Amino acid sequence: MKVFGSAKFSMNKTSIAVVILTYNESVHLVRALKHVSGFAEQIFVIDSYSSDDTVALAKANGAQVLQHPFQNYAKQFEWALGNAPITTEWIMRLDADEIIEDSLAEEIIAKLPGLPPDVSGVNLNRKTIFQGKWIRHGGRYPLTLLRIWRRGKARIEDRWMDEHMYLTEGRAVTFRGGFADHNLLDLTFFTNKHNSYASREALDVFKERRGLGEPQPALTVRSTARQAKIKRFLKESIYNNIPFEISTSLYFLYRYVVRLGFLDGRRGLVYHFLQGFWYRFLVGAKLRELENAAQNTSSDEELCREISRLTRQKFDG
């Protein structure tokens, strides 16, 4: 099975800037850079003061590096859009462990310059590679995400977790070329990462229930991928209103049985159980922890201090 392209063929530069956020990404970064260097006119790595050789590798492979302290992904990416010297017509959001396959690179070169003026964004269909296996079932492919947009025509949601890009004007089309999330690290990294993700998602749900923070613009089919809008609606309107002890079990059964996750084999079972049950259960348990902490506060000011304390405790490092 071809998981990602070779990036060895010659391509023409396109007026697109690729923006990658990093922290200790030396395992993945060079691979990501090689797969966009053939078509991207500009590449920016926004680093959160890595302690490994991420910065040196980025510079050696043609990226411009800016460093900025990390608070959360959304705020870091918003900082990048406001401070990186981007001059291209289009911008792409890419994670260090993601790969633009040859078929998508060729599609970007062929189609992006000729898109009509009313098209401001491009959705990409992402596949997940887990322990070397493409997870094809359980509703995990394709994951359709707005990842390319005209400069100045999109924003990122101000959320701790599951932040989406959304268009501020125009409409989006979808490119079908290969795009993969292929993390090379082990299960310890996977579980640690999802432990952090669970804290962030619990905080988002808690803030929404308490009416804390600024209201977020509603995702629409026109502003982002239809799939993202539907999933957000189902999560906020139905899933989050069911006790997590019930909702997590139902969700795992839906993914593994109804959406045929069992066809992904043994590695698929590990993935679907950890990501579709354990992770969702952890979000619910951490949300309850936040709610219990809130019950022991006597004022909004004290509640905000408690959230700040929990946030630092959960997200440092």
CA distance 236 to 242: 10
- Give the pLDDT mean for 54-76: 96
pLDDT, one tens digit per residue, over 66-122 is 999 998 899 999 999 999 999 999 999 999 999 999 999 999 999 999 999 999 999
pLDDT of residue 220: 60
Q: Collapse the DSSP code of 82 into the 3-class scheme (helix H, G, I; strand E, B; otherwise coil) and give the result.
A: helix
- Proportion of the chain above pLDDT 90, given as a percent: 72
Asked if residue 184 lies in contact with residue 266, where contact means CB atoms within 8 angstroms, the answer is no
pLDDT of residue 10: 47
pLDDT of residue 5: 39
pLDDT, one tens digit per residue, over 164-217 is 999 999 999 999 999 999 999 999 999 999 999 998 899 888 888 877 766 656
Work out the pLDDT band at 311, boundaries 50, 70, 90: low
Separation in Å, CA 166 to CA 117, 152, 198, 201 = 17, 11, 23, 19
DSSP state of 13: -
Asked if residue 275 lies in contact with residue 159, where contact means CB atoms within 8 angstroms, the answer is no
Q: Is the pLDDT of residue 3 over 80?
A: no
pLDDT of residue 214: 63
CA distance 139 to 260: 8
Calculate ∠ Cα 294-296-302, nearest 5°. Answer: 65
- Give the pLDDT mean for 236-242: 84
- Give the pLDDT mean for 280-301: 83
Domain residue spans of the chain: 14-182, 187-315
Is-above-0.75 flag for pTM? yes
121 - beta bridge partners? 149, 172
Q: Is the pLDDT of residue 225 over 90?
A: no
Residue 280, Cβ neighbours under 10 Å: how many? 22
Mean pLDDT, all residues of the chain: 88
- Give the pLDDT mean for 211-228: 65
pLDDT, one tens digit per residue, over 70-79 is 988 999 999 9
For residue 8 the two structure tokens come to 């060895």
- Give the pLDDT mean for 158-166: 90
Work out the pLDDT band at 62, boundaries 50, 70, 90: very high
**Thinking of the domain 14-182, which architecture would CATH place it in?**
Alpha-Beta Complex (3.90)
Q: Is the pLDDT of residue 300 over 90?
A: no
pLDDT, one tens digit per residue, over 33-42 is 999 999 999 9
Work out the pLDDT band at 4, boundaries 50, 70, 90: very low
Q: Is the pLDDT of residue 59 over 90?
A: yes
Residue bearing the bigger pLDDT, 28 or 226: 28
- Beta strand 165-167 pairing with 154-156: antiparallel
